[in-house]
Chains A and B, each alone.
Chain A
Amino acid sequence: DSGVTQTPKHLITATGQRVTLRCSPRSGDLSVYWYQQSLDQGLQFLIQYYNGEERAKGNILERFSAQQFPDLHSELNLSSLELGDSALYFCASSPSGGLGPYEQYFGPGTRLTVT
């Protein structure tokens, strides 16, 4: 158990809908990272937050947004869903924002299926 929690575990929704994925980082970790993993694209970095502020952006679509709250949990919002958004979404946390040799700790993931 990495200490990172993600809810829900599974999500099935229809095209055009909007969903919210939630992540709680390990106790004390200030950074949260979001990744998308699909069979054809592999593991893609979406976005990083550090202590409530956006720190880095990867291949995140404009239909997707994220935020990190004062209690450090984070939410990833996916809107106008398309079939191609079906994937595993992982959250990871780290003590730092890149200013040290710290690994990322991954949650169990949320499997999103868009029908």
Chain B
Amino acid sequence: AQSVTQLGSHVSVSEGALVLLRCNYSSSVPPYLFWYVQYPNQGLQLLLKYTTGATLVKGINGFEAEFKKSETSFHLTKPSAHMSDAAEYFCAVSGYGQNFVFGPGTRLSVLP
């Protein structure tokens, strides 16, 4: 069985500050890991994904995430927050033959 936890249902950062959104997973098979973003009243949009290979994955809008197997983590970072980054972020895990499982989400607020 697979599961995802996201530490912090709400994170606030100042504009220009580092964004760090935490994701830890549990998986019985080698995981595929995803980050999605949801802007108000819109569907989820893929930010980035890890399947195999390089553990540091770059996505859209300047975001990146690092897969750390020993820590079962896939934290999302962005060096400098922008007002337009305010949204809900979801981490998800799947694997070969496994269902997709989403985390509970983290709401990111960016303060001017």
Contacts and interface: CB of A to CB of B under 8 A. Distances in A.
Contacts of A104: 44, 100
Interface residues of B, number: 23
Contacts of A43: 44, 90, 102, 104-105
Contacts of B101: 45
Contact size range, A: 20 to 34
Contacts, number: 53
A57 to B, nearest CB: 10
Contacts of B44: 43, 90, 92, 104, 106
Interface of A: 2, 4, 33, 42-43, 45, 48, 56, 90, 92, 94, 98-101, 103-109, 111
22 contacts: A33-B100, A42-B104, A43-B102, A43-B105, A45-B100, A45-B101, A56-B99, A92-B44, A94-B100, A98-B96, A98-B99, A98-B100, A100-B96, A101-B94, A101-B96, A103-B46, A105-B46, A106-B36, A106-B44, A107-B43, A108-B42, A109-B43
